[in-house]
């Protein structure tokens, strides 16, 4: 929408252009949600120091879908654990909404790699796990809403071991969303799923992201996953991990997985990871 | 997973033979035992027929029932008392590592002492009678069950604890909402194994400290007239009751809310299912 068009609609001209743009602001203009500065992490193993993270700086914008991609065991999960407040960095700090992170918080929920759902609770009780402070009625309707959102109707009373792997991840996603967090941290959430289920779950995640408008940090070693999901892709090096580059992924959504631009973007990530295009 | 409707008669024969197999072994052994007794004409061991006759005789005059109830009563008190103490104690020790570091060595030293070594002290403290037998059962369950609860709390995957913290639970709240339920399958396993220990120990305790129960019954049968048929009858009964107790605990382990275990979640069910399919596949 050009500036001139506001003049055509007097009512709209009362609204500052920046407010209208907030409807779908260009990624670069969004407010910073999370700032990680100078993150280093050193584990002491016996007499040796293992340097896992080396000077990581990361900015995540409000409402953004950020994917961190890197080789297995490079320290991506450690970075996520630090950002989520489960681990302390050796040096550096993480600020979210300009407040210092010094522990886990209900406003920022982690979805774990595998089997993070509580196996002793039913699907329904898992989703309601973080809702103890709501009234029973509110709790019930909140659970019902998220059961529906992730497509688990009819499985409310099943135990996790009675449902499939993809459904378990849906339960965990619903459990995270039910407490209305403003950020979601996903640690290779689809890593244990088969190819087809993974594909379906990515689509589901994007649908939910569109419906719920959360800021998302998503960790993966799957390059396709990063190109399909991300607004921006952070490429990490192997250990000690640093950020190699941040790629703006401006492919229009929904993304065509066989388009030339998609393939170019994928090749770019491959190149940054130092991987050959031929096998 | 029996109980499915099977049309083919081959299926029912197969299922019959599967159910009969455990009994076939027992019947075979009993027959061999009886045969060996009747051809050898010795008096070192009474045969199954004599033992069975003793069971019938003792049952009809009510002695066996009285002794069985006495033993079960002591096991129940000692076992339940120990469980009520050991499970919370073990979970707290396992969850608060500082407490574990302080109390762990005490537990490690007390655990290898046979509960029977406590008999003199039990008699000194509470005298000869029910209470000292119950005390010995209590000790025999307390150490292993506390240890298994400590280990259960310590082996809970970090992601469950982290998920709990993520949803704003305090350390104390985590103990009730995450640690206890996550440890429950292992606790039930510990309960089953320690019930077995209690049942082993009650017999020994009753041989020394009291005048009733299956342990006393066995010693008394020997002392009061070398009634080895009664001795064997008592042994068989102990074995049978042990099997029933174990089966009851296994049933509890398999209940729907406990039929998971985080160390079994990924690998074993698939393997078990594959094995079951394989077996079914091989069947004619």
Q: What is the CATH number of the domain that holds B215?
A: 1.10.3720.10
How far apart (Å, rounded) are the C-alpha atoms in residues A122 and A202? Answer: 24
Strand partners, B221: none
Nearest Cα neighbor of A212 from A133, A146, A155 is A146
CB contact under 8 A, A105 and B162: no
- Cβ(A127)–Cβ(A175) below 8 Å: yes
Looking at the structure of chain B, the number of domains it has is 1
Which pLDDT score is estimated for A147? Answer: 95
Could you say which residues from 107 to 166 on chain B have a Cβ atom under 8 Å away from some Cβ of chain A? Answer: 157, 159-160, 162-163, 165-166
CB contact under 8 A, B256 and A86: no
**B181 touches A at CB < 8 Å:** yes
**B260 touches A at CB < 8 Å:** yes
How far apart (Å, rounded) are the C-alpha atoms in residues B188 and A122? Answer: 20
Residue of A nearest to B266 (CA): A115
Determine, yes or no, domain membership for B211: yes
CB contact under 8 A, B165 and A119: no
Which pLDDT score is estimated for B39? Answer: 85
Query: Could you tell me whether strands A32-45 and A108-111 are parallel, antiparallel, or unpaired per DSSP bridges?
Result: unpaired
Contacts of A116 in chain B (CB under 8 A): 159-160, 163
Which pLDDT score is estimated for B278? Answer: 38
User: Residue B269: which pLDDT band, with cuts at 50, 70 and 90?
Assistant: very low
- Cα dihedral B216→B221→B224→B229 (10° resolution): 180
Residue of A nearest to B162 (CA): A86
**B168 touches A at CB < 8 Å:** yes
Determine, yes or no, domain membership for B100: yes
Determine, yes or no, domain membership for B139: yes
CA distance B38 to chain A (A): 55
Tens-digit pLDDT profile for residues B183-198:
999 999 999 999 999 9
3-state SS class at A237: coil
- 10 Å Cβ neighbour count for B32? 11
Instruction: Out of A86, A106, A114, name the one closest to residue B168 (CB).
Output: A106
- Distances B266 to A173, A174, A187, B273 between C-alpha atoms, Å: 20, 22, 18, 12
Determine, yes or no, domain membership for B77: yes
| More confident position, B275 or A268 | A268
- Distances B13 to A125, B8, B20, B245, B275 between C-alpha atoms, Å: 44, 9, 10, 30, 21
Range of the domain at B234: 51-259
Cβ within 8 Å of residue A222, ≥6 positions away: A69, A190, A191, A198
pLDDT tops 60 at residue B156: yes
Contacts of A121 in chain B (CB under 8 A): 181
Nearest Cα neighbor of A79 from A38, A46, A119 is A38
Nearest Cα neighbor of A53 from A234, A184, A236, A270 is A236
pLDDT tops 90 at residue B225: no
pLDDT over 90, % of chain A: 73
Which pLDDT score is estimated for B62? Answer: 86
Determine, yes or no, domain membership for B237: yes
Taking residues A81-85, report their average pLDDT: 96
CB contact under 8 A, A160 and B260: yes
Tens-digit pLDDT profile for residues B110-119:
999 999 999 9
CB contact under 8 A, A118 and B181: yes
- Distances A65 to A8, A27, B265 between C-alpha atoms, Å: 34, 10, 31
Determine, yes or no, domain membership for B206: yes
Give φ, ψ of A116 to 5 degrees.
-80, -10
Nearest Cα neighbor of B200 from B220, B214, B188, B190 is B214
ipTM confidence score: 0.84
CB contact under 8 A, A104 and B256: no
Determine, yes or no, domain membership for B76: yes
pLDDT over 90, % of chain B: 55
Which pLDDT score is estimated for B154? Answer: 94
- 10 Å Cβ neighbour count for B110? 14
Q: How large is the C-alpha radius of gyration of chain A? A: 20
3-state SS class at A100: strand
- Cβ(A43)–Cβ(A240) below 8 Å: no
Residue of A nearest to B170 (CA): A104
CA distance B168 to chain A (A): 6
Determine, yes or no, domain membership for B135: yes
Instruction: Out of A103, A116, A192, name the one closest to residue B163 (CB).
Output: A116
């Amino acid at each position: 929408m050009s500036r001139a068009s506001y003049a055509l609609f007097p009512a709209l001209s009362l609204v500052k252009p920046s407010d209208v743009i907030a409807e779908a602001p260009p990624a670069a203009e969004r407010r910073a949600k999370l700032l990680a500065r100078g993150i280093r992490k050193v584990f002491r193993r016996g007499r040796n120091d293992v340097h896992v993270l080396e000077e990581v700086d990361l900015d995540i914008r409000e409402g953004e879908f950020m994917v961190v991609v890197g080789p297995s065991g490079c320290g991506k999960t450690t970075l996520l654990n630090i950002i989520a407040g489960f681990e302390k960095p050796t040096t550096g700090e993480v600020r979210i909404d300009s407040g210092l992170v010094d522990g886990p918080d209900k406003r920022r929920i982690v979805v774990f790699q595998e089997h993070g759902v509580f196996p002793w609770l039913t699907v329904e009780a898992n989703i309601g796990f973080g809702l103890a402070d709501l009234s029973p009625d509110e709790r019930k309707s909140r659970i019902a809403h998220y059961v529906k959102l992730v497509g688990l109707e009819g499985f409310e009373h099943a135990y996790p071991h009675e449902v499939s792997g993809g459904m378990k991840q849906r339960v965990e996603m619903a459990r995270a969303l039910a407490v209305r967090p403003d950020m979601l941290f996903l640690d290779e959430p689809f890593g244990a799923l088969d190819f087809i289920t993974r594909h379906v779950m990515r689509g589901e995640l994007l649908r939910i992201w569109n419906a719920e408008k959360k800021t998302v940090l998503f960790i993966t070693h799957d390059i396709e996953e990063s190109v399909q999901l991300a607004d921006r892709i952070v490429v990490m090096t192997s250990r000690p991990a640093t950020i190699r580059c941040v790629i703006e992924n401006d492919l229009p959504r929904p993304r065509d997985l066989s388009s030339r631009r998609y393939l170019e973007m994928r090749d770019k990530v491959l190149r940054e990871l130092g991987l050959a295009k031929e096998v | 997973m029996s109980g499915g409707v099977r049309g083919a008669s081959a299926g029912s024969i197969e299922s019959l033979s599967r159910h009969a197999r455990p009994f076939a072994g027992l019947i075979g052994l009993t027959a061999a035992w009886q045969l060996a007794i009747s051809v050898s004409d010795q008096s070192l061991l009474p045969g199954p027929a004599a033992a069975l006759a003793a069971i019938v005789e003792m049952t009809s005059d009510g002695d066996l029932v009285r002794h069985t109830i006495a033993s079960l009563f002591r096991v129940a008190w000692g076992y339940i008392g120990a469980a009520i103490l050991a499970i919370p104690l073990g979970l707290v020790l396992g969850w608060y590592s500082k407490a574990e570091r302080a109390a762990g060595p005490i537990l490690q030293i007390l655990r290898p002492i046979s509960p029977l070594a406590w008999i003199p002290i039990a008699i000194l403290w509470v005298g000869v009678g029910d209470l000292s037998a119950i005390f010995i059962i209590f000790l025999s369950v307390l150490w292993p069950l506390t240890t298994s609860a400590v280990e259960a709390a310590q082996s809970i995957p970090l992601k469950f604890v982290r998920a709990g913290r993520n949803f704003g639970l305090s350390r104390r709240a985590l103990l009730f909402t995450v640690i206890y339920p996550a440890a429950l399958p292992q606790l039930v396993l510990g309960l089953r194994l320690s019930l077995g220990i209690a049942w082993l120990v009650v017999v020994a305790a009753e041989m020394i400290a009291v005048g009733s129960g299956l342990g006393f019954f066995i010693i008394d049968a020997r002392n009061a007239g070398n009634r080895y048929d009664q001795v064997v009858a008592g042994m068989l009964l102990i074995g049978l009751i042990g099997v029933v107790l174990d089966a009851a605990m296994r049933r509890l382990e398999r209940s729907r809310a406990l039929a998971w275990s985080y160390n079994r979640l990924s690998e074993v069910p698939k393997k078990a299912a594959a094995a079951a399919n394989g077996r079914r596949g091989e069947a004619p």
